[in-house]
Amino acid sequence: MKTIAFLYNVRHHYPEANDYKNQLQGDFDDPITIRWQIKHLKNLGFNVIPIEANEEAYLKLYRLKKKINLVFNIAEGLHGKDRELQIPAMLEMLQIPYTGSSPLTHAFSLNKEKAKEVFIANGIPTPIYQVFQTYKDSLSGNLKFPLIVKPIAEGSSMGITNKSVVYDEDSLRRQVKKIITTFNEPAIVELFLEGREFSVSMLGNPPQILPIIESDHKMLPKKYQSIDSLEVKWYFEDKNLDYLICPAKIDIKLQKKLEKISYKIWQALEVLDWGRIDIRCDRKDNPFVLEINSPPGFAPPEASLSSYFPLAGRAAGLDYEKVMLGIIQSAAKRYGLKI
Ligand SMILES: Nc1ncnc2c1ncn2[C@@H]1O[C@H](COP(=O)(O)OP(=O)(O)OP(=O)(O)O)[C@@H](O)[C@H]1O
Ligand SMILES: [Mg+2]
């Protein structure tokens, strides 16, 4: 029986839109998610060693190194602006095979500014933007309202709430200040795109594109901005399962555009095994990349039915365990491991 070490971060607070500090663990996973993920790994016939990706993780990995055949990594990392690369970097150092991308890819995918620089260098369209180091920075002339304010290096819509879309300079500065002080990192301000939004899940090397998800913003009650904000992701999606349309109803031309962009990003950032790309269109259906998620959220159906990557898998006829196995096999093949 092969042994898989399962590397995760656990959330101790449920995020709230009005309590920004509470959002700091937003991209960690609930205990119930982790319990079920372990169960699914066991169902696949693996001996599973769960390891929380905290400061003791390195010691545990070091001690258990000889027993571990492969790490299934969904850890987001613990501290600092490059935290997602911490576990992959430890695993490289210890020469333990693991699922997903390398430290370099994780560093770029977490940092929205650096990812955008790579997109731009590769001719991949992304909304124009400006990074604010302080709320007093002067606003560049080519950014016209409405704009959206985001933390530069977070995920799971942390810091992205109804208040993030801003229509004038006062509210822009207020929101930038809030983000910088809460997350202790620069804010990224982007042109707000008002068109359709898609999420593209990719699996394997070379990747297969799973059915594309569209968020049906038209379904949102008036009190919500038409974005996948924290409020929408955490309080609306799970209760309104038809909000996420998968496969998205798109014509072949748009589908080809989305796929082309996604493959280009995969190559440019050297993504491995799995990743999810968020894309939003302008009003004329021209797609622009918002970001890449590596590793993407991966909650099992017992914990959430609106976790994007497993949802796309289900639409392709792959249940949670099949997707999990797909990720594992794709990594194992890279390392020449028999799993
Ligand atoms: N430039 C933009 N124009 C329009 N909407 C945007 C823009 N940037 C972000 N959004 C909205 O905000 C949501 C969250 O933004 P983004 O995907 O960049 O953040 P995230 O927290 O990293 O997301 P995830 O939960 O996928 O990790 C998007 O899904 C989209 O609805
Ligand atoms: Mg996103």
When pLDDT is averaged across residues 22-48 and rounded to a whole number, the result is 88
pLDDT band at 25 (very low <50, low <70, confident <90, very high): low
Same domain, 184 and 257: no
> Do residue 210 and residue 330 come from a single domain?
yes
Domain CATH code at residue 187:
3.30.1490.20
Q: Report how far Cα 162 is from the mean position of its chain's Cα atoms.
A: 20
Do 58 and 141 lie in one domain? The reply is: no
CATH value at residue 274: 3.30.470.20
User: Angle between the 308-315 and 320-335 helix axes, to the nearest 10 degrees?
Assistant: 100
Determine, yes or no, domain membership for 121.
no
Residue 292 predicted with pLDDT over 70: yes
pLDDT score, position 266: 98
pLDDT, tens digit, for every residue of 145-157?
999 999 999 988 8
Structural domain tally of the chain?
Answer: 3
Q: Which CATH number does the domain housing residue 49 bear?
A: 3.40.50.20
In whole angstroms, give the CA distance from residue 134 to residue 334.
Answer: 43
DSSP character for 158? T
Asked whether residue 114 is domain-assigned, the answer is: no
> To the nearest whole percent, how much of the chain has pLDDT over 90?
91
Among 191, 226, 244, the domain-final residue is 191
Which ligand has an atom closest to residue 130 CA? Answer: 1
Within-domain flag for 107: no
258 and 178 co-located in one domain: no
In a domain, 71, yes or no: yes
Q: Would residue 120 count as lying in a domain? A: no
| Residue whose C-alpha is closest to residue 312's, from 230, 229, 207 | 207
**Does 330 lie in the same domain as 236?**
yes
Q: Which atom of ligand 1 is nearest to the CA of 308?
A: 26
pLDDT at 20 over 70: no
Is the pLDDT at 189 greater than 80? The verdict is yes
The closest of 303, 308, 338, 306 to 323, measured between CA atoms, is 308
User: What is the domain range of residue 140?
Assistant: 126-191
Question: Rounded to whole angstroms, how far apart are CA atoms 24 and 167?
Answer: 26
Q: Which of 148, 176, 191 is the last residue of a domain?
A: 191
Mean pLDDT for 42-51 is 98
Whether residue 19 is predicted with pLDDT greater than 80 in this model: the reply is: no
Q: Residue 324: pLDDT above 70?
A: yes
By most ligand atoms within 8 Å of CB, the mutation choice from 129, 145, 277, 290 for ligand 1 is 290
Q: Among 1-15, 44-58, 86-100, name the one with the lowest average pLDDT.
A: 1-15
Average pLDDT over residues 206-225: 97
Q: 89 with 203, same domain?
A: no
Q: What is the DSSP letter of 4?
A: E
| 19 found inside a domain | yes
- Domain termination residue (choose one: 100, 116, 142): 100
Whether 164 has a pLDDT exceeding 80, the answer reads yes
Average pLDDT over residues 138-144: 96
pLDDT reported for residue 23: 61
- The predicted structure's pLDDT at residue 24: 66
- C-beta separation of 218 from 183 below 8 A: no
Angle, alpha carbons 120-250-327 (nearest 5°): 65
| pLDDT grade for 11, boundaries at 50, 70 and 90 | confident
Nearest CA to ligand 1 atom 28: 228
In a domain, 108, yes or no: no
137 lies in some domain: yes
Helix (H, G, I), strand (E, B) or coil at 130: strand
Same domain, 235 and 289: yes
Could you give the count of Cα atoms lying within 13 Å of 14 in the half-sphere of its Cβ? 7
| Ligand 1, pocket residues at CB < 6 Å | 127, 148, 150, 154-158, 160, 190-193, 197, 227-228, 278, 280, 290-291, 293
